[in-house]
Amino acid sequence: MTFKALLTTKTGETISTHLVDFKDEDLMPGDVTVAIEFSTVNYKDAMALSGRSPVIRQFPLIPGIDFAGIVETSSHPGFKVGDRVLVNGWGLSQTHHGGFAQKARVNGDWLVKIPEVFSTQAAMAIGTAGYTAMLSVLALEHDGLTPDRGDILVTGASGGAGSVAIALLSGLGYRVIASTGRQEEGDYLRDLGATQVIDRNTLSQPGAPIAKERWAGVIDSVGSHTLANALAHTQYRGVVAAFGLAQGADLPGSVLPFILRNVTLAGIDSVNAPQEVRLQAWSRLAQDLDLSRLARTTQMVGLAEVPTVAGRVLEGKVRGRTVVDVNA
């Protein structure tokens, strides 16, 4: 039996991805086999397919850092045939075949049962980006932020994680400031719940080590000068959740926000988060995310379109979430 998959190969320094027929027996070891229904194109996927970052650590490999589908076979005690499951991160698209295929075999300890309120398509409309956004909201709450404390800045607001973060925060009663380099997306961001939209250029250049207090918290997907400036403008005892490096992996800032304003910088890792954290995040997504707002963030593509979409993600030309129908 064969199935369709995107396979990424490397010849010399050249990385390329092609749609191929893949065999069941060529899948990697695991105790659960899943018939995949949907995956997504995340920023990390775009980095992997482009070769800009060494996300893929062995070749050839099926990329795709997440997927949702139906259990086809299982020897894992926690899952049975017919269960609806998803996976985010772990070794997918790094050392283990990922979600850009019609089938996957994985370690059952990586899987999460999809909450009843979500279809497999909705689970991937959320995907790793939305799950990461929820982890960020949990980090803000863990350090005591509540809507009455003040505004929350969301950088990279037009992207997948930013879009879901805005929908979540606004639904929880926070006043959200959305930072974007695409001012034409202002109506889209306000429709998701942003109360103010600012130009990312106001944060992306070198700035003062500490500046006027503007927001109580931040969810940042950008890094570099943007994160440094976001920290500099954070209020006393504010919280900044950081998970991205779209502008850069550097942090050209100062200790002043930490020692003068007692600001907390919370790092967010979605790849290796423990299972109890994942379950909490998906439970809260089921409780707090407005599915009608989620639908506004989503576009659908087929497997063959993924490489093109990945290129557009890196160019900053994709809004919100891109769901991949692997059977289209």
Confidence band for 51, pLDDT divided at 50, 70 and 90: confident
Confidence band for 53, pLDDT divided at 50, 70 and 90: confident
Count helices and strands (H / E) in the chain: 9, 15
Does residue 316 register a pLDDT over 90? Answer: no
Does residue 278 register a pLDDT over 90? Answer: yes
Rounded CA separation 99/6 (Å): 9
pLDDT digits (tens, 9 = 90+) for 157-180: 999 999 999 999 999 999 999 999
Residue % of the chain over a pLDDT of 90: 94
pLDDT digits (tens, 9 = 90+) for 196-240: 999 999 999 999 999 999 999 999 999 999 999 999 999 999 999
pLDDT of 13:
86
Does residue 193 register a pLDDT over 90? Answer: yes
**In sequence order, what are the residues at sequence separation of 6 or more whose Cβ sits closer than 8 angstroms to the Cβ of residue 295?**
125
E-only strand ranges, 190-280: 196-199, 215-220, 234-242, 264-267
Short-list 210, 216, 225, CA closest to 257:
210
Burial 112-132 (b: 16+ CB within 10 A, else e): bebbeebebebbbbbbbbbbb
Short-list 128, 115, 104, 127, CA closest to 29:
104
pLDDT of 38:
98
Does residue 306 register a pLDDT over 90? Answer: yes
Does residue 1 register a pLDDT over 90? Answer: no
Sign of the alpha-carbon dihedral angle for 86, 89, 94, 100: positive
pLDDT of 296:
86
In the chain, the N- to C-terminal Cα span, in Å, equals 19
pLDDT of 19:
97
Confidence band for 52, pLDDT divided at 50, 70 and 90: confident
Mean residue pLDDT across the chain: 96
Say what the pTM is: 0.94
DSSP letter (8 states) at residue 184: G
Which of left, alpha, beta for 299 (phi over 0: left; psi -120 to 50: alpha)?
A: beta
Domains and CATH numbers, the chain: 2-114+297-325 (3.90.180.10), 128-267 (3.40.50.720)
pLDDT digits (tens, 9 = 90+) for 131-156: 999 999 999 999 999 999 999 999 99
pLDDT digits (tens, 9 = 90+) for 56-107: 999 999 999 999 999 999 999 999 999 999 999 999 999 999 999 999 999 9
Helix axes 275-288, 120-142, angle to 10 degrees: 100
DSSP letter (8 states) at residue 29: P
pLDDT of 254:
96
Within 10 Å of residue 85's Cβ, how many Cβ atoms?
24
DSSP letter (8 states) at residue 115: P
